Amino acid sequence: MKRTLTQLLALVCGALIASSTAHAQSKIAVVDLKKVFDGFWRTKQADVQLKERAADFEKARLGLIEDYKKANEDFKKLIESANDQAVSADERDKRKKEVEKKTNDLREQENGIRNFDNTSRQSLGEQQLRMRESVLRDIRGVVEEKSRAAGYQMVLDTAATSANQTPVVLFTTLLGTESDISDAVLKQLNANAPPEGAKADDKKEEKKDDKKK
């Protein structure tokens, strides 16, 4: 009888532990990271800054192109003058040497434009990566803070896709419930958003810093 009671007690304890474990494992929250990322004021600010810098690069590139076009026109005129039979042979030789020098100058300008394009793309890519990582750090910080406060063991991103561009989370009943912390996270992130005027000032300051660098 005592042995039977001991076995029964062990079974009850095991069931309680299993139930407790299952309950703990079910403490899962979801977040739409794309919604939060796109709605965060810092993301929008970063996007504006990237577009402004890209416009600055494009303006500088157009200046280089205009200089190259003008140099190319001068080069064509120089070739014509080098073949002018109305001038002396010595003068034609002199002009041909100038043509050779101008040819090298044009090649240097072409290389300069290509290098500028490569440097611009790399610089924009690096800036975009830095801004993205910074924004994601802020988002993850708030997600972790809210998850710990609510006792969630795991948070799934419902907007995540696999390498095959298929949804990672195929089905969940947590959307629209208190376990969906997307709106709460976004609200907290945007709680300290600066006024529009302050944002504009920040962008001017960052632009000055970029020019100094």
| 185-211 tens-digit pLDDT | 999 999 989 887 455 455 555 555 555
Residue extents of the structural domains in the chain:
27-207
CA gap 127, 49 in Å, rounded? 10
**Tens of pLDDT along 103-145?**
999 999 999 999 999 999 999 999 999 999 999 999 999 999 9
Most confident of 61-70, 81-90, 200-209: 61-70
Sign of CA dihedral 62, 63, 67, 70: positive
In 3D space, the residue among 47, 40, 46 whose CA is nearest the CA of residue 187 turns out to be 40
In 3D space, the residue among 100, 82, 104, 102 whose CA is nearest the CA of residue 91 turns out to be 82
